[in-house]
Structure 1
Amino acid sequence: MSTKVKICGITNEEDATWAVNLGAHYLGLNFYKDSPRKVSPDLAARIAKKVPSFVPTIGVFVDQGPAEIVKIAKKVGLGGIQLHGEQTPDDCRAIAGELEVLLIKAFRVAEEKDLDPLAAYKDVVGYFLLDTRVEGLAGGTGQTFPWDLAVRARAFGKPVFLAGGLTPENVAQAIETAQPFAVDVASGVEKSPKRKDYEKMKKFIEEVKYA
């Protein structure tokens, strides 16, 4: 099965349309208050309406509670939820009980012991996402981690999204090493945190396709 592509940090309708037309499988909309790529629920809803149903929009949440997440997801019409931070397995169950969407739990990793928490979530989410652990940052670090950790993460029985410092220049090597279900990119295909770079997105998706 070919590796899927998630373009994260979409902030406008034009970039969403570009990403879909180039072949992205998922689009990420960030609701974290401190993210330079943050979108409001109203803007996210306008973007989501432009996206065909076969490309799920994934809401990125950092430490928001289940009630807030469910409220935003229903308003926007999200196709998936990506949880960064301290959400518990019970929080995940609460969200899954309210929404029929893809549920992704993100973990920040730098070494093998960082995979230990995955075990508690393997029965309550559908996917894991691995991002680079950088103190003080919840994601969007622009830095890579040892990709072989993603291979070990697959032992928990869930498809793995690989994130953290991916670019058109390194994504083929990342796929060869980690064999992930999907790759997730934000800063690696940007002109700025609010604008994607069309040529970088095109190159990234081409590199994934032929990896």
Structure 2
Amino acid sequence: MAKVKVSGLTNYNDALNATNLGADFLSFSFIKESPKKVSEKLFLDITSKLPPFINCVAVFGRNKQKDILRIIKKYSIKNVQFNEEISSEICKSIKETQNIKIFKYFKINQESDILALASYKDIADYFVLSVDCINGQSSKDSYDIVLKAIDLKVPIFVDVDVMTQLDEIKNFVKNVNPYGFDSDSLIERLAKRKDYDKMSVFVKTSHGF
């Protein structure tokens, strides 16, 4: 059964629905340029009302290291996702000093892009891969890329937002069986609002139901 990560959460109702549907991780963006950015106050308002067992993930991009550290400490964050702008050195330093789990995001356009993952394999606890060629001519290319990434022995979340429909998850489970799946825009109803039915399908399909 693959794990489920629901990303781009901006309100309590969506976070609670994702929790009740069985999502394993809930992601909140602190990236300044992101249209899904949450303020620290909103993050606290949402997460303080969720059950204590929920795994929340704070997402950072070009944020200053001092700001990342301050937010991690202030809100006792245990899971952090770093997007492509963060170097392996910074990832390692923050992980070692803060005792957190790290999700490292990569955008993959071709098989050679997998080489960039190698310098993070002893640092990241999870990789999140957005594989552009999922919608290309050959699904096999996408499967091969993710399988090559799996060889690095770091649990892989496949970003499903580049898929055209949630049913494609079933093929990924059958042909690749990654550790988990991550979604944001594919399960939206409106900007900053998730669609309950789509989120339900995403969770159930990823979990193999």
TM-score, length of structure 2 as denominator length: 0.89
What corresponds to 2:171 in structure 1?
173
Matched, 1:59 2:55: no
Does the 8 Å CA contact 2:189/2:195 hold for their aligned counterparts? yes
Bigger CA radius of gyration: 2
Residues 78-117 of structure 1 aligned to structure 2 (within 5 Å): 78-117=77-116
Q: Which amino acid aligns with 2:185?
A: S
Q: Which runs of 4+ in 1 moved over 6 A?
A: 142-145
Work out the CA distance in 1 between the residues paired with 2:66 and 2:119.
21
Q: Which amino acid aligns with 2:183?
A: V
Matched, 1:146 2:142: yes
Work out the CA distance in 2 between the residues paired with 1:77 and 1:48.
11
Work out the CA distance in 2 between the residues paired with 1:89 and 1:31.
19
What corresponds to 2:156 in structure 1?
160
Higher normalized helix content (fraction of residues): 2
- Relative distance call for 1:95 and 1:133 in structure 2 (3 A) is farther
Work out the CA distance in 2 between the residues paired with 1:174 and 1:206.
14
Q: Which amino acid aligns with 2:162?
A: G
Residues 1-211 of structure 1 aligned to structure 2 (within 5 Å): 2-132=1-131, 146-163=142-159, 164-166=161-163, 167-210=165-208
Aligned to 2:162, what secondary structure does the other structure show?
A: coil
Unaligned runs of 5+ in 1: 135-141
Unaligned runs of 5+ in 2: none
Aligned to 1:123, what secondary structure does the other structure show?
A: coil
Q: Which amino acid aligns with 1:63?
A: R
Offset from partner CA, 1:66-91 (integer Å, 9 cap, x none)? 32212122333333111112211110
Aligned to 1:148, what secondary structure does the other structure show?
A: helix
Q: Which amino acid aligns with 1:153?
A: A
Offset from partner CA, 1:161-199 (integer Å, 9 cap, x none)? 111424433222222233111100001110122101111
Alignment RMSD: 2.1
Offset from partner CA, 1:123-144 (integer Å, 9 cap, x none)? 122111111459xxxxxxx978
- Relative distance call for 1:101 and 1:52 in structure 2 (3 A) is farther
- Aligned residue pair count: 203
Work out the CA distance in 2 between the residues paired with 1:192 and 1:178.
31
Q: Percent identity?
A: 32
Does the 8 Å CA contact 1:5/1:184 hold for their aligned counterparts? yes
